[in-house]
A and B are shown apart, each in its own frame.
Chain A
């Protein structure tokens, strides 16, 4: 009988772990998107939301480390599957094509490794920009001094490179989730054919909603949204 650690190193265990971490990441992304929507709220909604999170102190750090671990495991397994696949088929087909039908091969599923790696690089970059970036302070309505994340966000997305770069990456996120959400259910032993078909559709809709939700923000800002209220210079 393998130990739990050994079990999670097996092919089946790895896949289940990918599914679990994938789900956690999807939850995080939903949470994150909801947080981001604060940019459309009251002028200091975003900063007070950020402040609210920071109030958690050590718990926040705990969550951050946990999130990082989930992310690393998810990425690590993904990359190792990709590496193993090359070993498992040393000579490639000269002609290869999907048979269609029940096959879930497509742009989304075939590019999981690519979109995953891009997302990995993006996240490092993203955290560097918004978590460790230069932030001024702002004052909330009740006079509390907080990090001015909102201005940083608005400033950052004035840069077309950022705005469109983010948009592009969010499209990739959508692609990743398009296969990923259904795949996570499948990895976590979803068996029923009917439910599987439903979840596949829901997964794609959710992926589109999440991607559009995220990419809407940089584009909105780049094209002038949210600036007046923040009293910064906009495009």
Chain B
């Protein structure tokens, strides 16, 4: 088991009004089997013992499914590995003496709360606008009355796996939320259950996405590259298709 020393350059910001700045830390005895967030836990233990403010960052399940964590590491959302959330990134991907720069996801729609923690409620408001199928509790028909071709169901599932971490926004040069919005639209619109509300949903969600201050999509596809569950930009194509169908 090899241990290494890691140099960290971490964004510190007291609140949304604070301009923020970088602070540098040297962390010895980093174990290669540690997850990236465990490495930050160890840093915080050290800072607390030195009577310094620990670094705040969002995390919860640490299994790559809740979407809480979203750090931009050396300029890449969720770090260097594809299809990996930062909580599933391990220090064996780094070497002794490496310098790691950690920043929060940066977007006007994701204001900083503290340090690396940002407010992503804009995503919830996009879902509120139409990211659901309106079926009241109790109103559902027998489940097998609605057969769904397996391929359709699987395709919808691919989009439904979005964990809402916001890496797509963080990595997009334009801070666009097209992949997030497109994924939910595609998931629901592809299913027969979601089809009655398809037009209304698409228009409302696209409108809300814009109102939240996310930028335009320029087809960089960087979002797909950083997505921890690998959602394809074909979700965005589906959104555009359904939007045009709704409007014309």
Contacts and interface: CB of A to CB of B under 8 A. Distances in A.
Interface stretch (A5-13, A124-132, A162-170, A215-223): A5-13
Interface string A15-44: 110000000000000000000000000000
B222 interface: yes
Interface string B59-98: 0000000000000101111001010000000000000000
Nearest to A86: B215
A97 B244 contact: no
B117 interface: no
A1 B22 CA distance: 46
Contacts of B173: 85, 105, 110
B70 to A, nearest CB: 14
A14 interface: yes
A168 to B, nearest CB: 24
B222 A99 contact: yes
A193 B219 contact: no
B240 A84 contact: no
B103 A94 contact: yes
Nearest to B230: A102
A179 to B, nearest CB: 8
A183 interface: yes
A112 B218 CA distance: 9
A141 interface: no
Contacts of B126: none
A195 to B, nearest CB: 10
B36 interface: no
A50 to B, nearest CB: 37
Query: Across chains A and B, which 8 residue pairs bring their CB atoms closest together, nearest first?
Result: A88-B215, A103-B225, A88-B175, A95-B75, A97-B75, A7-B247, A189-B241, A96-B75
